[in-house]
């Protein structure tokens, strides 16, 4: 049965995506964090990290959920999580740690995109969604299927559109995801 922890996990993922998107938008459009000088990036990082941290905590609480599949599929789940991890590491290698934290909006260098970015439009966000799917299959928790869907919509269709111009992902329209 869908319960409190399921609702909380979905709510906090949506909240984290919203906070991150709003924070990036405020910096891109209004240079909001520039008024904090060299500390602007750190303040943005704290704001975003708190929101994502709250979500991560709820992921652990979601394990108490009674909203489950009839059976789990651990091999499929762990294989999906492994694919997600590989995609994440390859993407992080391309964008660097500052790219992961939106540092490119604060004058931090963004490494040259290539590699996996030549094949996937948003590999970091795709890896998050695959990670949720992997957990769903391995644990039989239905809420992680919903988190994968919310993540896909929120990260790829909302947050990526806000970040898109500065990320320089030249092949995004070739995938038909972000037109």
66-107, pLDDT tens digit by residue?
999 999 999 999 999 999 999 999 999 988 888 888 888 888
- Which whole-number Å values give the CA distances from 76 to 109, 135, 136, 140, in the listed order? 37, 10, 10, 11
Structure-model confidence comparison of residues 130 and 178, the more confident one: 130
Distance CA 142, CA 135 (A): 9
Which pLDDT value is given to residue 139? 96
Residues whose CB is less than 8 angstroms from the CB of residue 131 and which lie 6 or more positions away in sequence, other chains included: 80, 81, 84, 85, 88
Domain coverage including residue 141 = 4-175
pTM confidence score: 0.88
Q: How far apart are CA 110 and CA 31, in angstroms?
A: 18
DSSP β-bridge partners for residue 141: 68
CB atoms within 10 A of CB 73: 16
Number of independent structural domains in the chain? 1
pLDDT at 163: 84
Identify the pLDDT of residue 165.
Answer: 57
To the nearest whole number, what is the mean pLDDT of the chain?
89
Mean pLDDT of 42-49: 96
């Amino acid at each position: 049965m869908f319960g409190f922890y399921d609702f909380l996990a979905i709510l906090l993922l949506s909240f984290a995506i919203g906070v991150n998107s709003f924070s990036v938008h405020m910096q891109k459009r209004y240079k909001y964090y520039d008024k904090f000088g060299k500390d602007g990036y750190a303040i943005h990082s704290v704001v975003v990290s708190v929101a994502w941290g709250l979500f991560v905590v709820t992921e652990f609480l979601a394990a108490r959920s009674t909203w489950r599949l009839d059976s789990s599929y651990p091999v499929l789940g762990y294989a999906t999580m492994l694919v997600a991890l590989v995609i994440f590491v390859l993407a992080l290698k391309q964008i660097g740690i500052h790219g992961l934290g939106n540092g490119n909006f604060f004058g931090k260098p963004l490494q040259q995109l290539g590699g996996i970015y030549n094949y996937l439009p948003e590999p970091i966000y795709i890896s998050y969604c695959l990670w949720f799917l992997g957990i769903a299959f391995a644990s039989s928790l239905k809420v992680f299927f919903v988190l994968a869907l919310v993540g896909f919509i929120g990260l790829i269709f909302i947050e990526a559109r806000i970040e898109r111009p500065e990320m320089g992902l030249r092949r995004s329209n070739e995938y038909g995801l972000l037109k």
